[in-house]
Amino acid sequence: MRLSTKGRYAVMAMVDLARFSNGAPINLADIAERQEISLAYLEQLFAKLRRSGLVKSVRGPGGGYLLAHHRDDTRIADIILAVDEPIHAVRCTPGAATGCRIDRSRCLTHDLWEELSNQIHLYLSSVSLGDVCERRVLGTSGLVQRENYRAAKAS
């Protein structure tokens, strides 16, 4: 399973908004520059995020976007789903009685991939923008990265 650019960029932009807004609207051009994302692409993503109620737009001079909810109340799964990014690893429709094979049966690994999809959704639903901003999502990979950083710094 691979998360598309749409989902990754939406999360990156929302984390940027959560980190830099301090209660003031943030211009999409600033996010685009910091995150190296096309402004036109961000405008499309933020239109979807606004329709989903995750951001609020402020018009006029000094306008831009604000989080609609506190960053600890905004879940990563909600951001990905808001930009129409499905979170599933199966080829066929998740939860459907029929499968994706020619005879409409499920393949032998269907349940494995469907459960993986469920676990990914559960994980992304458990992580907030605040968790990402405060670096509270570092698991084992984060420990290795932190150790490598310390070793390089000591050299």
Confidence (pLDDT) at 4: 82
Residue type at 106 in one-letter notation: R
Alpha helices, H only, the chain:
5-20, 28-35, 39-51, 76-82, 110-126, 129-133, 140-154
What are the angstrom distances between the C-alpha of 36 and each of 6, 31, 32, 41, 93?
14, 8, 5, 11, 34
Confidence (pLDDT) at 142: 60
CATH number of 5-154: 1.10.10.10
Q: What pLDDT tens digit does each residue of the chain (155 aa) get?
A: 557 889 999 999 999 999 999 889 999 999 999 999 999 999 999 999 999 999 999 998 888 999 999 999 999 999 999 997 777 666 666 666 777 777 877 778 788 888 888 888 899 999 999 999 998 887 656 666 667 777 777 87
Side-chain half-sphere CA neighbours of 42 within 13 A: 23
d(CA 84, CA 82): 5
